[in-house]
Amino acid sequence: MSTPELPDCCDIGTEEKEASSQKVHKLRAKRDQEDEVDPVYKKLSAINGEINRMTVKELHDKLRELKLDVRGTKDILKKRLKMHFKQRKLMKAKAKPPGDSTYDYLIIIDFEATCQENNLNYTHEIIEFPAVLLDCHTRTLVDEFHEFCKPLVNPRLTEFCTFLTGISQEVVDKADEFPAVLDRMQSWMNGHYLGIDHTFAIVTDGPWDMSRFLQIQCNLSKIPFPYWAKKWINIRKAYSSYYSCKRMNLEEMLTNLGLKFEGIQHCGLHDSRNIARIAIQLLQDGCDLVKNEFLHVAPPSPGARGADKCASGKTQRDSNEKKSKSSEEMEQRLKELKLESKNFVDENEDLLEYHRLQSA
């Protein structure tokens, strides 16, 4: 009998399509020529049933016995234990075990941008550019890139922005403009041979960093959108999909894993480090983080910076007359982002949530 293989999670095999009327186990066990489930999957099914019936104390005891992490909610503990036995059984059966990383490295990015309280149409400019480099094989952080950027459309930071991000006016005044910082960031990537000798992917907390902040900034700076930022891993989506839970924010994901936020919230570098901690835990629990969102990017239009200045001035005058926009108007603006993902409706809701939080 041929060595059993795990099918692609985004593809359903021919045999499974033909057997759609039958109940198929969540592991999507691949049937052999006699249309029988491989014995290793039957054993895994029985093990998973036993794990599902375990109490939290029993899960903790078993994980400690196996010298595995005991932090997290009950669902995460069950997932961790199931994946451990799955890896062990498949390796014993000489099948490719799950958990092998698609990429050599992950770059975790969490921008901080200019903002104004109660102004949903404020022209955001990136003022903090952090990047944390994670080795997927050793599951350790190996390097960091961190610089500030000088805003041009709204060079004076609002009190709200300084309070939220902790970034002072003096810091951004001394900083270089975004294009120069982006060039140094890409030189830093080249120094690690990313995209040359090593595969990598960008990781963000939600869709906003790439689809909104970076796209707006590139248009303002009249520079091409970076090729490496057109596809990325939304850690919220990967987390909720892998652990079969609702979509959570950064602090909720950490809490669910039994972790606490380290550092200062809304500091881009500290946020990036904490996102990296979640990515490490996902990798340790057997999750293969893959790109799950991408963006169609139009080239920057001529005179975009001047047009945005005029638009920003008009928006601020309008905001004095009307402080909030309707959901329909916000949704119309979101359509212009052309965000592509497996669930566009959820991403719209995520972006709307961001606007509501900012206005609150």
pLDDT band at 11 (very low <50, low <70, confident <90, very high): very low
Across 337-348, average pLDDT: 49
Cβ neighbour number for residue 78 with a 10 Å cutoff: 19
Which backbone phi and psi does 23 adopt, to 5 degrees?
-75, 130
CA 327 from centre of chain: 25
Amino acid identity, position 78:
K
Mean pLDDT, residues 145-158 taken together? 96
d(CA 92, CA 4) in angstroms, rounded, equals 12
Catalytic entry in 60, 146, 198, 266: 266
**339, containing H or E segment:** strand 339-341
Of 218, 216, 212, 251, residue with least CA distance to 232: 212
- pLDDT band of residue 296 (cuts 50, 70, 90) is confident
Number of H helices, E strands in the chain: 15, 8
Torsion angles phi and psi, residue 192, rounded to 5: -100, 5
Question: How do residues 152-189 score in pLDDT, each as one tens digit?
Answer: 999 999 999 999 999 999 999 999 999 999 999 999 99
* pLDDT at residue 228 greater than cutoff 90: yes
Rounded alpha-carbon distances, angstroms, from residue 122 to 213, 225, 317, 360: 12, 21, 11, 15
Q: What pLDDT does 42 receive?
A: 85
Crossing angle, helix 39-52 and helix 74-92, to 10 degrees? 160
Question: Nearest to residue 256, comparing CAs of 238, 243, 269, 273?
Answer: 243
Residue type (1 letter), 154: N
**Residue 90: what pLDDT?**
81
Query: Would you say 236 and 82 are in contact if contact means Cβ atoms under 8 Å apart?
Result: no
* Marked catalytic residue, from 84, 112, 347, 355: 112
Residues with Cβ within 8 Å of residue 171, at least 6 apart in sequence: 148
CA 148 to chain centre: 22
pTM score, two decimals? 0.73
Q: Give every CB contact of residue 144 below 8 A, 6+ residues apart in sequence.
A: 130, 131, 132, 133, 269, 272
The CA R_g of the chain, rounded to the nearest whole Å, is 23
Whether the pLDDT of residue 151 is over 90: the answer is yes
Block residue for tokens 């499974």: 16
Which residue matches tokens 């989506």? Answer: 237
pLDDT digits (tens, 9 = 90+) for 74-128: 999 999 999 998 888 888 776 666 657 889 999 999 999 999 988 888 999 999 9
Q: 311 and 336 in contact (C-beta within 8 Å)?
A: no
| Dist CA 278 CA 269 (whole Å) | 15
Cβ-based neighbours of 3, under 8 Å, separated by 6 or more: 93, 94, 95
Q: What share of the chain is helix, strand, coil (3-state, %, to 5)?
A: 45, 15, 40
Token pair of 275 as six digits: 């996102």
Amino acid present at 165: T
Segments of the chain assigned E as strands: 105-109, 112-113, 126-135, 140-148, 200-204, 231-234, 293-295, 339-341
Rounded to the nearest 10°, the torsion over CA 158, 163, 165, 168 is 60
**pLDDT value for 199:** 96
277-293 pLDDT, tens digit per residue, is 999 999 999 999 999 99
- Known catalytic residue: 328? no
Residue 232 has pLDDT above 50, yes or no: yes
Give yes or no for residue 36 having a pLDDT over 70. no
